[in-house]
Chain A
């Protein structure tokens, strides 16, 4: 059985079907990209797996455990970490504290854990190591709200990594980045992959996604159009059609 299985996931918003029976598998240690034109249902798929929206039908199973339709904080404890499409730090907290929040999670549900010190030296060391890994070692004392976009994306990842995730879900991490920032992000994703982290990447930038991914799932209008290795997907006539044909901007409303 695969590590993460999306099984016939469907999501509706009112009468609108944003996601229609999408299934795919992610093996442990793989980086799988979900690509597709605007409005294809990429972010909806992502939210359904993360627990942020409840699927009308179907489910997502991580390592034998259903994660769809469960509150996000429960999934966070179960090892599902996510970043947001619109970079979304705790603005009023320092960069280091943004990461420390996730590091404390194991204690948050224990009675008596409440008054414990948030800043044990072990936690601080771990937070600083994570921030160093993503390249934010210089900004730890700054307020997160003051960071430029490229750094915010990296902070999102560091914050997600603080949950020691078994599955890292990245929602358009490359959006709005400059070339040098994108290269740094790509190198970071490769390093995380080498460390054996399983990742699901939703990405609008097809070239970026196909460069870093082991496999890709292509969505269009809420359905799975194709799935396979980057080369297969790149040369699939249906995929080329979806991107070059009428589908490109047509489905915006279904986001």
Chain B
């Protein structure tokens, strides 16, 4: 049971990061590697906001705002100029942006040290569930993830902008011919997806009690695994895939005495699934 709770918490952080990545892939069909940089920026700004106020909730809002802003800037300054270029061009630009973000944050003159401790108190209780314990930090991760995913679902299903996102992701030209403001749909996808990445950064920082410049490295790869498993561009798919992956990792390590390190498992699963189902677990093959 304790393992299941760990997996749920871990899965939450995967999902927050991967959903935004999948939204962005869905609407622009670009591999947005710098998304993990946005996640790192979100964590740092969350750390600073927490340092000022001592509140993890202010940290969350700050991290999400910083995420939204930096994600939107990456789109407006970089991808928007590369939309007509071959697809490897925005990919390489994205890798470059990610490296720049990591390098800047690791510089002593910017943040002092490249690893910062963040012993934040979420002000939440510990909760016992079936003999296992949910720590305050884990509860914070779970509450934030549940609330944000619910809000995202409402936005997608019920709002004008959600309908425009779905229409633009489905067929950009047709969306334009239907009166959708395609430019605004893309920009807002970046802002919202990146706000989720910022939230992922802050929750991970609170959960692991640390922030460091290269914290986005492994999550960046793993988010891609999840997005591909979930069916590229889908939104529900990565949510399910993120939790499946977290459970698989945790249970294999805890119970099967699995010899591979945790991070290798994700890629092993990816390779196996891609061989069996190239369109991802939940993706539909398209003509």
Contacts and interface: CB of A to CB of B under 8 A. Distances in A.
Given A91-B170, A119-B158, A104 B163 contact: yes
Specify which of B158, B174, B175, B188 lies most central, judged by the most chain A CB atoms within 10 Å of its CB. Answer: B174
Interface stretch (B1-9, B60-68, B177-185): B177-185
A73 B180 contact: yes
Interface of B: 155, 158-164, 166-167, 169-171, 173-182, 184, 188, 286
A71 B182 CA distance: 11
Interface string A65-95: 0000001110011000110100010111100
Contacts of B170: 90-93
A23 B158 CA distance: 45
A16 interface: no
B178 A105 contact: yes
Contacts of A118: 158-160, 162-163
A97 B166 contact: yes
B162 A76 contact: no
Interface residues of A, number: 35
B181 A72 contact: no
A117 interface: yes
B180 A105 contact: yes
A108 B184 contact: yes
Contact of A100 (B163, B173, B177, B182): B163
Contacts, number: 92
A108 B164 contact: yes
Cβ-closest 10 pairs across A and B: A105-B179, A73-B176, A90-B170, A76-B179, A118-B163, A114-B161, A101-B167, A102-B178, A72-B177, A108-B181
Given A73-B182, A108-B181, A115 B159 contact: yes
Contact of B159 (A76, A92, A109, A116): A116
Contacts of A93: 166-167, 170
Contact of B179 (A73, A90, A92): A73
Contacts of A52: 173
B226 to A, nearest CB: 20
Most chain A C-beta atoms within 10 Å of own C-beta, residue among B158, B171, B178, B188: B178
A163 interface: yes
A113 interface: yes
A178 interface: no
Contact of B178 (A71, A113, A116, A159): A159
Given A71-B176, A90-B175, 14 more contacts: A50-B177, A73-B181, A93-B167, A97-B166, A101-B167, A101-B175, A101-B178, A104-B163, A107-B160, A113-B160, A114-B161, A117-B158, A118-B160, A118-B163
Contacts of B188: 114
Nearest to A91: B170
